[in-house]
Structure 1
Amino acid sequence: MPDGQSTRTAMFRVKNLWIIHLLGWVLFMSLPLTIVSREPSAGFPVRILQSGWFSSFFLVYATLFYGNLLVLVPKLYLKQHYVAYAAVFVGLLVAIYFSKPFERLIFRNFRQEQGRELRPEPPREGFREGRPPRPPHGGDARPMPRPNGERAVDFVSLTLFIVVWAVAMAIRISREWRQSERRAILSEAEKAHAELSFFKAQINPHFLFNTLNNIYALAVSSSAHTAPSILKLSQMMRYITEEATENYVPLEDELACLENYVELQKLRLNAKTSLDYEVKGQPEGIRIAPLILMTFVENAFKYGVSNHRESVIRIAVEVAGGDIRFLCQNRIIERNREEERTGVGILNTQKRLDLLYSGFYDFDIHNDGEIFTVKLKLPGR
């Protein structure tokens, strides 16, 4: 991704994050206003928001929220210091219980503001200057307790504390989980790329070694096919070194390399081995993982050719509906242990398929003891 685009994406994420935080705090500030006054007078919420005691209340909970989000969760909880984290939580909960921020910073001041807005009552009958009226029926002159006086437990402050604490904790843990998931995905991608490079490094020398052996046999017998064979090998090496280093290559180039390989192998076939090779469909615009098909073809020539028994090697590639269908079939010829060295072979090829076509390919190998058949279906890239 270009640097400019990365910067714009990061700025967009930061902007969205600030918007979310702003909306969250607007919702938080609306809760005390809803609790203290269900029918406020005109302009009363504005006076509360502009008051210093409301700002103090907001600062208390903002400190709790961002302290938990930025310090306590990453420094204690995520580092598995659960006892210390729980101790801090209990300590702050006790502090909120005794300090009662909602009761002392908002509710009392709210009552005082409402008291100022009430009109003074006219003097009652019998009221004398400097002396309170006598209570009726000789009642007690002591003031009655206010029904809206200080409550024993400030449930609003405790509830808001738990909500703010839980939201901060959830946000931080969710962020860490997403980052861990992103790191795991990047790690898997790097691992897959490293394994793929290793498989290619194994496949290429193995393939070239067998081909050079065939050309060496032609040169020893002074065959007229030696020079054309070297040219075909040169084209194959150019393909392997320049194009097959990518994860996906044009199917046309892969088929050209496969055809060169088949032509080279035909030079060593005898009358007892027949070859059926065909390509159907239009490969233009289709891409495939390099050297995926080569392993199966190579094994077919290695284990399906005999100087004493009749054998048939069948290779078919069909492009239809954007899919690549591959068939490779050969007769199984008995080999001794020295000749049964398959190198990386089919196992590593299947690992490459898992890395590059995970969940999107069909692969079937059938061995009935007489005929070895490989069927492969790949989606075109």
Structure 2
Amino acid sequence: MLKKIYPAFSGNTRNFLLHLMLWVLLLSVPFMDMVTHRGDFDLWLLFRLIIALGLFYFNYFILVPKLLITRKLALYLAVIIPLVFGMSYLSALFTEFRMPRQAPAGFVRTFQPDFPMRYIPSLVTFTLHALASTMSRLYIEWSSTSKKQMATESEKRVAELMFLKAQLNPHFFFNSLNTIYSLTIKKAQQAPEAIISLSNLMRYVLYETDKDVVRLEDDLQYLSDYIELSKLRLTANNKVDFIVNGEADNLLIPPLLFISFVENAFKHGAAPVDDSGIHISFDISPKQIAFRVENTIHIERTAGKRSGVGLENTLSRINLYFPDRNFFSAFELDGRYIVNLIIAL
């Protein structure tokens, strides 16, 4: 199905049109004055508007981008303040010497500067033009930076999630298939349940994790299926606990937020020959999720680096989705490795 494409103005085009409409409106004032008063064209008013336009865009295109935005505040003030005062003084000076439309007989014009009445109005006018120029440019820069930052964060979240999905240990799926095959050969009772668990895992990764958020109960079910399949490869020496306290109804989280910690626990905490234990627990409330993983430390399995790219990727995603609303700690205690993660919702 073809989608109809409607033309749209870009951000730069919209800004240009907005500025054009504003200045056309301002520059039309002398013409309106001529029409409404049926008098001569006020060339001086047009000249002042052109000077104001020059100040506006000199500040907009040169002073603000090259000085103010680059944090050269002192230099910016050293340029813009004398410029505004100088143009205001010249404007007041030319206004004083401007000849009236009908000069009375015997009129002699002298320049007697009345500071409050002649200089301050020009100063206020040009100051407002300079401020409008500065604020307009700063708003455009802020808006552009904000949009770029939002786009970058969105792309980063998508990229990190795709990478996390790609790096989920493919050996786990192959090992699970081999385990299920062995169970079917033996006609073990766990085989049908194992097939369903593996099917649920693959369906969740393929179809649910493309969403920005998923239901917490779905993510917990994914972890449960993963744990059940992982337990099939363990022996009686290994004990695994998975406990969920609280209600996960109506809570939404980013997908695959806890799997790396669970993978890490099985990778480093389960040894078929030695006694070992893995304890995974959730304490859930409407305002927070408290997640804890404990596993026995096996020296031969922790000789390498414990936290891989997947774990670092997960922590980065947590900080992106829950900035200043998460607490993470990982430490060793009495031969056990403990991970605590608390997320404020």
TM-score interval w.r.t. the shorter chain?
A: 0.7 to 0.9
Give the AA of the match of 1:286. Answer: L
Residue identity matched to 1:310: D
**2:59 paired residue among 64, 70, 73:** 73
State whether residues 61 and 164 of structure 1, in contact with CA within 8 Å, keep that contact through their aligned partners in structure 2: no
Provide closer, same or farther for how the CA distance between residues 261 and 337 of structure 1 changes in structure 2, counting only shifts above 3 A.
Answer: closer
Instruction: Tell me the equivalent position of 2:111.
Output: 151
TM-score of the pair, normalised by structure 1: 0.67
Kindly provide the amino acid, as one letter, of the partner of residue 191 in structure 1. T
Displacement after TM superposition at 1:234 (Å): 1.9
Match of 1:64 among 38, 44, 51: 51
2: CA distance, partners of 1:75 / 1:311: 68
* Alignment correspondent of 1:175: 136
Q: TM-score, normalised by structure 2?
A: 0.73
Instruction: Give 3-state SS (helix, strand or coil) of 1:365's partner.
Output: strand
The answer as to whether partners of 2:328 and 2:342 remain within 8 angstroms in 1 is yes
Q: CA deviation at 1:216?
A: 4.0
Is the alpha carbon distance of 1:79 and 1:187 closer, same or farther for their aligned partners in structure 2, counting shifts above 3 Å?
A: closer
- The structural deviation recorded for 1:217 is 3.7
Partner of 1:123: none
The 3 A distance-change label for structure 1 pair 97 and 255 is same
Would you say 1:230 and 2:195 are equivalent positions?
A: yes
Output the CA distance in 2 between the equivalents of 1:102 and 1:367.
83
2:176 is matched with which residue: 195, 215, 223?
Answer: 215
1:8-19 pair list within 5 angstroms = none
1:96 partner amino acid:
S
Match of 1:199 among 117, 142, 160: 160
How many equivalent residue pairs? Answer: 307
Q: 1:369 to 1:176 in 2, by over 3 A?
A: farther
Change (3 A) 1:351 1:213: same
Letter in 2 for 1:77: L
Q: Does structure 1 residue 317 correspond to structure 2 residue 297?
A: no
| 2:210 matches 1:245 | yes
What whole-Å deviation, never above 9, does each CA across 1:5-36 have from its counterpart, x for those lacking one?
x99xx9xxx8xx98xx99xx9xxxxxxxxxxx
Describe the SS at the equivalent of 2:170.
helix
The answer to whether the Cα contact below 8 Å between 2:214 and 2:253 also exists between their aligned partners in 1 is yes
Deviation of the 1:215 alpha carbon = 1.4
Cα gap change, 1:336/1:273 in structure 2, threshold over 3 Å: closer, same or farther? closer
Q: Which runs of 5+ in 2 are unaligned?
A: 1-7, 30-35, 68-75
Query: Over alpha carbons, which structure has the higher Rg?
Result: 1
Which of 307, 310, 316 aligns to 1:351? It is 316
Candidates 147, 152, 162, aligned match of 2:123 = 162
State which of 91, 99, 105 in structure 2 corresponds to 1:96: 91
Provide closer, same or farther for how the CA distance between residues 340 and 308 of structure 1 changes in structure 2, counting only shifts above 3 A: farther
Say which SS state the counterpart of residue 273 (structure 2) adopts: coil
Amino acid at match of 2:175: N
Amino acid at match of 1:64: I
Q: Distance in 2 between matches of 1:266 and 1:365?
A: 24
Could you tell me whether the CA contact under 8 Å between 2:297 and 2:336 is conserved in 1? yes
Q: Which residue of 2 aligns with 1:271?
A: 236
Once the two structures are superposed, residues 323-353 of structure 1 have per-residue CA deviations (whole angstroms, 9 ceiling, x without a partner) of 2221111111123589757542321111001
Deviations 1:68-91 (Å, cap 9, x if unpaired)? 22x322344345498998998688
Residue type at the aligned position of 1:151: F
Partners of 1:251 and 1:336 lie apart in 2 by 31
Question: Is the contact made by 1:251 and 1:283 (CA closer than 8 Å) also made in structure 2?
Answer: yes
Distance 1:77 1:274, change over 3 A: same
Instruction: Give 1:256 shift.
Output: 1.1
Distance 1:201 1:76, change over 3 A: closer
CA 105–316 in structure 1, closer or farther in 2 if over 3 Å, else same: farther
CA distance in 2, matches of 1:324, 1:228: 29
1:130-176 superposed Cα distances (whole Å, 9 cap, x missing partner): xxxxxxxxxxxxx9x99xx7334363444333322222122122122
Answer whether contact 2:238 2:271 (CA < 8 A) is retained: yes
Q: Could you tell me the percent identity over the aligned residues?
A: 22
Q: 1:200 to 1:192 in 2, by over 3 A?
A: same
Q: Show structure 1 runs of 5+ residues with no match.
A: 1-5, 26-48, 116-142
User: Would you say the 8 A contact 2:251–2:286 is kept in 1?
Assistant: no
Secondary structure at 1:246 match in 2 = coil
CA distance in 1, matches of 2:87, 2:118: 12
AA aligned opposite 2:138: W
User: 2 CA distance for matches of 1:94 and 1:324?
Assistant: 65
